[in-house]
Amino acid sequence: MSRSNVTSNYTVLPTHQTKPTTRHPLIPPYPHDYKFILNEPDKCKPEAPFLVLLVTGNSNDYQARHAVRSTWGNESTVPGVSVIRLFLTGIAPRVTDRVQKMLEEESATFHDIIQQDFLDTYNNLTLKTLMGMEWVAKHCPNASYVMKIDIDMFLNVDFLVRNLLMPGIQVRRNYMSGNIVRNAKPQRNIGYKYYAPKEVYPRNEYPPYCSGSSVLSGDLAKKIYDVAQTMQLINMEDCFTGLCMEALKLNLTIPPKGVFNGHHIEYDRCRFSSLITMHQYSPQRLMEIWPDFQSRNVSECGTS
- Indicate the pTM of the whole model: 0.91
What is the assigned CATH class of domain 22-301?
A: alpha beta
296: pLDDT confidence band, cut at 50, 70 and 90? confident
d(CA 66, CA 111): 13
> 287, 163 in Cβ contact below 8 A?
no
- At 33-47, the pLDDT tens digits run 999 999 999 999 999
User: What pLDDT is attached to residue 68?
Assistant: 98
- The rounded Cα 220 to chain-centroid distance in angstroms is 13
Classify strands 83-91 and 113-119 as parallel, antiparallel or unpaired.
parallel
Q: What is the mean pLDDT of residues 81-92?
A: 98
Amino acid identity, position 303? T
Say if residue 19's pLDDT is above 70.
no
d(CA 3, CA 251): 9
SS3 assignment, position 147: strand
> 27, 200 in Cβ contact below 8 A?
yes
Say if residue 301's pLDDT is above 80.
no
Residues 6+ positions from 302 with CB-CB distance below 8 Å: 270
SS3 assignment, position 4: coil
> 66, 99 in Cβ contact below 8 A?
no
- With left for phi above 0 and alpha for psi between -120 and 50, is residue 166 left, alpha or beta? left
CA atoms within 13 A on the CB side of 11: 16
Amino acid identity, position 1? M
Mean residue pLDDT across the chain: 91
User: What pLDDT is attached to residue 297?
Assistant: 66
Amino acid identity, position 186? P
User: What pLDDT is attached to residue 4?
Assistant: 31
User: What pLDDT is attached to residue 36?
Assistant: 98
With vertex at residue 175, the alpha carbon angle to CA 172 and CA 177, rounded to the nearest 5 degrees, is 125
d(CA 88, CA 36): 11
d(CA 35, CA 86): 17
> 229, 34 in Cβ contact below 8 A?
no
Residues 6+ positions from 166 with CB-CB distance below 8 Å: none
SS3 assignment, position 124: helix
List the domain boundaries for the chain. 22-301
- At 191-233, the pLDDT tens digits run 888 999 999 999 999 999 999 899 999 999 999 999 999 999 9
d(CA 223, CA 282): 33
